[in-house]
Structure 1
Amino acid sequence: MEDGINSQVERSFVILLVIIFGSGSCMTMSGVWSEIPVLVALGLPEKNRITSYIMIPLVCGFVVVVAFLICIKFLESTRVYRPEISFIYVITFIGTIATFLLIFFWDSRTYLSGQPHSVAFMINIFFVLTVDMILGNTSSGYKSLLKPEYLNWLLLGQGMSSILPGCVVLIQYAGGSKETCVANFTFMNETVVGNSSLSYSCTSWREVAPEFLFGPKIFFAFLFAMMLSCHISFICLNNLPCARREYAPQRDGHHLKKDGCGGLFQSRDTSSGEMDELVVLTQIPESEGIARSRPNNGDFMERELTNWQVAFLYAMSIINMGILYGILSPIQGYSASAYGSQTYGLLTPLREITGALAFPLFQLKPIYSYKVVVWTFLLGSISSLYCIIVAAMSPYPPFSELIIGKVLIVVAWIGAGVFHNYSRASYAWILRHSPDNRKHLIYSSALGQLGVSVLTIFMFLLVNVFNVFEAYDDQKQCPIQPTCTRS
């Protein structure tokens, strides 16, 4: 390394750190969603309603997001110039502890009013969701620190946060028996009719939990390892010299600071050498500074956004995330399980995997286009509408007895994830290339989570108060009486 430039090996190491950090940003929540069918099959008391229950802590977690935004506003004039960095340290640590506790408390039961509930599980989920929400906002601000070319790698890591848990769940499904109703014992029954007797072979049935290649405990141990890796990688990204050399020049001079906590532990007396560098930076005209901070490539040039364009992109963030997480997530158990537990169990991780592939797909050829944002959003909305209709018609969805029905619901869920996420990647790319990218990325993420919170409350009322949706699994129980056939 010469003149403050990293070698190829160092750059590759920084890329690896960025991917690991990105992979932990949504790892825990994506992992929990992928594991929900397994937990329901193993006897989670809330059954398919758990998806709507899980979203309620998300609304509570939004309060923490608001607190984070307030901190940013009030700390702008203080020496803590990058509060998101301190937040990331704290929340990745909390996320690591929460996933560790899930290993031991995922199946605990607490009786309230005589009914079993997964209270300990829900408490841990609250912290997991809060971590994901805050990390989504803080990592959005952190994106502005990295050089533009690292945004692709960060988005790739965020895509891996869904792909890896989904693949692990598919492996989990690969082993064991998925039968939930098995023969208990068989006996012969003779019935006398007139002068003759009829013999019947009768079988009594009992419900059993399906078998998997490994249990939820091992799966949550995997999530814990990934979250711990995310925490360690961020420490490295924010403190290792080779990583800090890959920061884009910042007007607040953060890329020159020696403190790795965004000014939290920085003394008010800046060292003379550091101050000299800051003076040189601030003397560079803004337009020239921007030009120097970007390669001579039109793809990386900052572009001013009008107020209407900013409002449009903010609105897309609200609607996109609101549909994807606020509406679809609470009803996935009603929509997918309507075609059988096997379809539900495989579709959920497939949805996470394919939806996450939208990010690396976008990175193959990033496009600065508002038309791409709109068209992918419309295609995602059409797919989402079909999923909602199927959920509303459960437990008797269209083509429920045909293969085409299963194919359609799988394609619809995958399409909703892919197109909505591609739209998200598109407008994030546009916001990243604006002069006020840090502010826009943080605010768009916060507004998106506001949309999720509002629609989550709405869907919770539909599912649990008005009982609009009816779960398919509740209709399929083992026969209470023995079944007999004439022998």
Structure 2
Amino acid sequence: MSLLTHLLACLFGMGSWVSINGLWVELPLIVPKIPEGWYLPSYLSVLIQMANIGPLFVTLMHHFRPGALNEVAVIYVIIALGTVASFLLGFFWKETVVVAGAPRSVSLLVLTFFLAAVDCTSSITFLPFMMRLKPQYLTTYYIGEGVSGLLPAIVALIQGVGVVHCINSTQSLNQTLNQTLNNSSSALTFELSAQYQPANFSAEVFFFFLSAMMLVCLVAFLLLNYHPTVAREHPNGRYTNGVKEKSKKNRKWVEQKPMMEPYRPTNQRRKSSFGTGAYSWMQVSYIFVILAWVNALTNVVLPSVQSYSCMPYGNNAYHLSATMSAVSNPLACFIALFFPIRSLLFMGALTVIGSGIGAYIMGMAVLSPCPLLVNDSSGDVIIVLAWIIFILTLSYVKVIIGVILRDEGHSALVWCGAVVQLGSLLGAVTMFPLVSVYNYFSSGDPCNTKCP
């Protein structure tokens, strides 16, 4: 295997969600300067789900017009669009337009929609493109996809986004109205107040950084297509618009047979018409249900309540859980690179474990601002470990499912991307009204814990 190809696959995967992930971590700096305020996250959730029109179009084209869509051209377009949109955000994110008598951040919302369309469509185009490379590079791609969340988080930490200092403040109670009397008395109570520190560099610089990361992804994609070292890593056969060209020698072979040799004997009877037939329809349904469930939990459901689950334990617990969970994603992919356990039973067991830990995190969010062990240091440790193990186990499951479906062929990876977006959509539809409409969750004060 080529180290250069591994690096390029990682950088290519990094461009998949780096823009939207970066936008989320930058919210504490953006929100105070726009008219939408903290309603912006709700708007972003809606825009991201509307952007699923991109994956829907690509999926329907692959299903009804296989081979008609130029896959490589689509990837070039969406990466270029993401690069330009991120760059323009650096100039126009604060600009407002009066709509219906009130100022609105139209440019921010429109450019965010384009970024969301780019990232959502990447799920259904980047993965099938990896069919052009050997199976080992798919896991490296997933590492890059994990880095797309980790890198913006690290840069945001360096920037100082959301860093809170708790300072003493006084609150005057029962102060007499007669200020002319020297003997007027007041009862003073002392409490801590949260003071957000100014950022080390502006949001504009951060958006330019995101644009540079998309440009790096574009360069990596160019090299994956044209670098001679990468060309030697291609398996037998060439792909045109997602359809593999067959020579006379291998015309009777199924598309992925060379990849499946270690896992399915040549004379084994096909269990279904899906892919190579290695799995029955029941097993295929089981795989896709787990894929949708895992992505719903990791992409939307639990991240939407992360602040509620962690903030009552303090600002340090919140930032540590956010950072370490971002590290856990690429770490899980790295583990899967060396230990790709394809057992469906093991996959199910990990899903149950991860879901159970996710239920604990959700329970702490529901109990906010007074979750379990809120006044005990062990509560901080447990919530951080819960986030690490939750992301670690379910990210591993996602990678293994990707590896399995990669061996089932190009169309299987297209459906993989579609189910990923479907799971995220269902998670958003479930959580949006609970968090943003009915205000079911209550935030904790990072400086003052008022629980028994």
Would the TM-score normalized by the shorter structure come out above 0.5? yes
Distance 2:312 2:38 in 1: 11
Alignment match, 1:65: 55
Distance 1:227 1:398 in 2: 42
Match of 1:18 among 9, 29, 54: 9
Query: In the TM superposition, what are the counterparts of 1:358-373 in structure 2 within 5 Å?
Result: 358-373=332-347
Query: In the TM superposition, what are the counterparts of 1:220-239 in structure 2 within 5 Å?
Result: 220-239=207-226
TM normalised by structure 1 equals 0.77
Q: Which secondary structure state, in structure 2, belongs to the residue aligned with residue 283 of structure 1?
A: coil
Residue ranges of structure 1 left out of the alignment (5+ in a row) = 1-7, 264-276, 477-487
Alignment match, 1:317: 291
- Residue deviations 1:341-372, cap 9 Å, x none? 44334432332222332111211211121122
How far apart are 1:150 and its partner, in Å? 1.8
- Residue deviations 1:106-147, cap 9 Å, x none? 445567678776543333322222211110110121121211
Q: Residues 196 and 412 of structure 1: is their aligned pair in 2 closer, same or farther, counting only changes over 3 Å?
A: same
**One-letter amino acid of the counterpart of residue 373, structure 2:** F
Alignment match, 1:284: 250
Q: Is the 8 A contact 2:144 2:330 kept in 1?
A: no
How far apart are 1:248 and its partner, in Å? 2.0
RMSD between aligned residues: 4.0
Alignment match, 2:420: 448
Residue ranges of structure 2 left out of the alignment (5+ in a row) = 267-275
Query: In the TM superposition, what are the counterparts of 1:54-453 in structure 2 within 5 Å?
Result: 54-76=44-66, 80=68, 83-108=70-95, 118-173=105-160, 178-179=164-165, 209-250=196-237, 253-254=238-239, 281-284=247-250, 286-287=252-253, 293-294=258-259, 304-434=278-408, 437-453=409-425
**One-letter amino acid of the counterpart of residue 7, structure 2:** L
Q: Is the 8 A contact 1:334 1:471 kept in 2?
A: yes
Report the structure number with the largest CA radius of gyration: 1
**One-letter amino acid of the counterpart of residue 44, structure 2:** I
Deviates more, 1:324-333 or 1:337-346: 337-346
- Residue deviations 1:146-191, cap 9 Å, x none? 11122232222222222222222233339x973376769x9xx999
Distance 2:114 2:367 in 1: 33
How far apart are 1:396 and its partner, in Å? 2.7
Alignment match, 2:270: none
1:463 and 2:435 are equivalent in the alignment: yes
Alignment match, 1:485: none
Q: Is the 8 A contact 1:354 1:417 kept in 2?
A: yes
Distance 1:99 1:163 in 2: 18
TM normalised by structure 2 equals 0.82
Q: Which secondary structure state, in structure 2, belongs to the residue aligned with residue 25 of structure 1?
A: coil
Distance 2:129 2:398 in 1: 17
Deviates more, 1:127-136 or 1:99-108: 99-108
Distance 1:24 1:312 in 2: 29
How far apart are 1:465 and its partner, in Å? 2.3
**One-letter amino acid of the counterpart of residue 245, structure 1:** R
How far apart are 1:49 and its partner, in Å? 5.1
Distance 2:378 2:167 in 1: 26
